[in-house]
Chains A and B, each alone.
Chain A
């Protein structure tokens, strides 16, 4: 069986600047994979390339063996990759409910959407209390929950999460990571980009370390957590 996601020798950039200098990584079905690294290492660009928002210059991205790197973002969503972008990017003037409905934009099975909506409210009870409130009026933590729930509404095979911990209190981050774990238990594979390296590696099965556009290390998350170089650079140890 081919990996769910397989990236090989991917290069991408903006204008003159090459941000991804030939990276390769893979996500197996059912895995949580953490991608950690400093600011500007290219983590977000990696996710943007996978979801089609950034066109790769060379290399390939395959979803379950099928090449997707030449496809448009709206097609990639329909193939089963949902991307929760950095900075949450909820729709500030739409209500919580409308935000969640937008997450299911690519789907047309009404019964399934309703089911997933109930499921999302079950996972994030706070959102249920806020259904008619504009997304922009939620607190940061609630917005992040909304962003994750919205991505879930697309019923993805692979969920791309970009810095869900950004700007949130540690307790809230724990809560969000708990939900990520639950989603994974339900069979969704997750590629998690994080600066909060310790928490991400504790949650993940495997991890990749990125530095200035290249993957410098990868392996089981526990090994990375124990690695002296990773500890020195990312875990403050």
Chain B
């Protein structure tokens, strides 16, 4: 074996040596209960890291949905934000006092997921027969159409203001007492931790679901289609239906994330929260982490959304408090450089590690030279 390992490979080795998921899960489960780390972080950053983690969990569900479509099945979906928005608005319509439904959180979670999946089916059924780039254009267009519809259907969606207030979920009585022992108050507005655990729990359910699907017949069919659609068809895979199933599942997960997002915000936010840049950032999360890889996608969300929502505003705060930027000079405000850092990171990644940080084995195999893989032979 060559002594000088190629750089990407050694990085993989390093990342593989990171402690495994029980540790991460343990940290995430304990973090809010210990109270102290949240307090310290808040003093440093003036940001509720726990609350932001909640949003990271929600975006993780969204990104995992997108990963089913783009990562596993290889359909370039540029309009995931539309389905995120559809989920949010379904939740809004079904729960805000202005409407007569008021079905509450659980009902709206189910309706938002199914509704977004149905929208995915309706969009996908006629368009997934298109090849490659055309699907991307269709999804991109659908995203914009959805956003403008949400803006212009003012009687239904309240236009730019968005629907609010969305009531918080009701805590089942049998959970209220044990949670109060842990020091968690039964008040969704005052204590971020209820929503934190709710989002984390749903994220875990989604991860388990996808882990099983990945190894199922359907999961293998998705991957086969990504690899070569004609060959997959020759193997007896019903390509149209299998692609549609991936599309509907991905959009349904996006709708679920949208419901959580709106409930956490207690508002659907305005239509512009679901614009093209949201779709692109989610796509970047998936690509940065590693297309088709569950843990890669999760890492991508943590890094990008964490950077966007926690690191960048925290840095702004430092600069201000350290008197480097006392009068809000835009050149010295880190947030204004955020997108540039973002772009630079993506360019560097495409140059040095195109398969993403934690790629799935298959994508990694594709993006490295044959010679390299031959050399490493059995290790793949």
Partners in one complex: yes
Q: B370 to A85, Cβ gap below 8 A?
A: no
B232 pairs with A137, CB closer than 8 A: no
Taken together as a complex, chains A and B put the C-alpha atoms of A90 and B362 apart, in Å, by 13
Residue A84 CB within 8 A of the other chain: yes
Measured CB to CB, the nearest residue on chain B to A103 is: B235
A106 touches B236 (CB 8 A): yes
Which residues of the partner chain A approach B236 to less than 8 Å between Cβ atoms? 73-74, 77-78, 105-106, 154
Name the distance in Å between B369's Cβ and chain A's nearest Cβ. Answer: 10
Answer whether residue A89 sits at the interface, using C-beta atoms and an 8 A cutoff: yes
- When A and B form their complex, what is the total count of cross-chain residue pairs whose Cβ atoms lie within 8 Å? 90
| B149 smallest CB distance to A (angstroms) | 35
Contact B231 A90 (CB under 8 A): yes
- Mask, A64-84, CB within 8 Å of B = 1, is 000000001110011000111
Known A-B contacts A91-B224, A102-B224; the reply to A137 vs B237 at CB < 8 A is: no
Quick one: which of B221, B228, B237, B361 has the most chain A CB within 10 A? B228
Q: Inside 8 A of B233's CB, which chain A residues have their CB?
A: 53, 73-74
Closest to B379 in A: A132
A74: B residues at CB distance < 8 A: 233, 236-239
CA distance A73 to B238 in the complex (A): 7
Q: Is A95 an interface position by the 8 A CB rule?
A: yes
**In the complex the two chains form, is B235's CB within 8 Å of A102's CB?**
yes
Nearest CB on A from B245, distance (A): 14
Q: Which residue of A77, A85, A103, A106 contacts B230 across the interface (Cβ within 8 Å)?
A: A85
**Cβ-neighbour of A132 out of B239, B366, B370, B378 (below 8 A):** B378
Bound-state Cα–Cα, A133 to B372, Å: 12
> CB-CB < 8 A to B238: which residues of A?
72, 74
Query: Across the two chains, which residue of chain B brings its CB closest to A162?
Result: B234
Task: Scan A102-136; emit 1 where CB is below 8 A from any B CB, else 0.
Answer: 11011000000000000000000000000011101
Which residues of B, 20-47, contact A by the 8 Å Cβ criterion? none
Q: Does B312 contact A (CB under 8 A)?
A: no
Chain A residues with CB under 8 Å of B232's CB are 91, 102
Q: Can you identify 11 A-B contacts, CB atoms within 8 angstroms? A: A53-B230, A74-B239, A84-B234, A89-B230, A92-B366, A105-B224, A106-B236, A133-B377, A134-B362, A134-B366, A136-B366
Question: Footprint of B on A, CB under 8 Å?
Answer: 51, 53, 72-74, 77-78, 82-85, 89-95, 98, 101-103, 105-106, 132-134, 136-137, 150-151, 154
A74-B239, A82-B234, A92-B227 provided; 14 other pairs, C-beta below 8 A? A72-B238, A73-B236, A85-B231, A85-B234, A93-B361, A93-B362, A103-B235, A105-B224, A133-B378, A133-B380, A134-B362, A136-B366, A137-B370, A150-B235
Chain B residues within CB distance 8 Å of chain A = 217, 220-221, 223-224, 227-228, 230-239, 361-363, 365-366, 370, 373-374, 377-378, 380
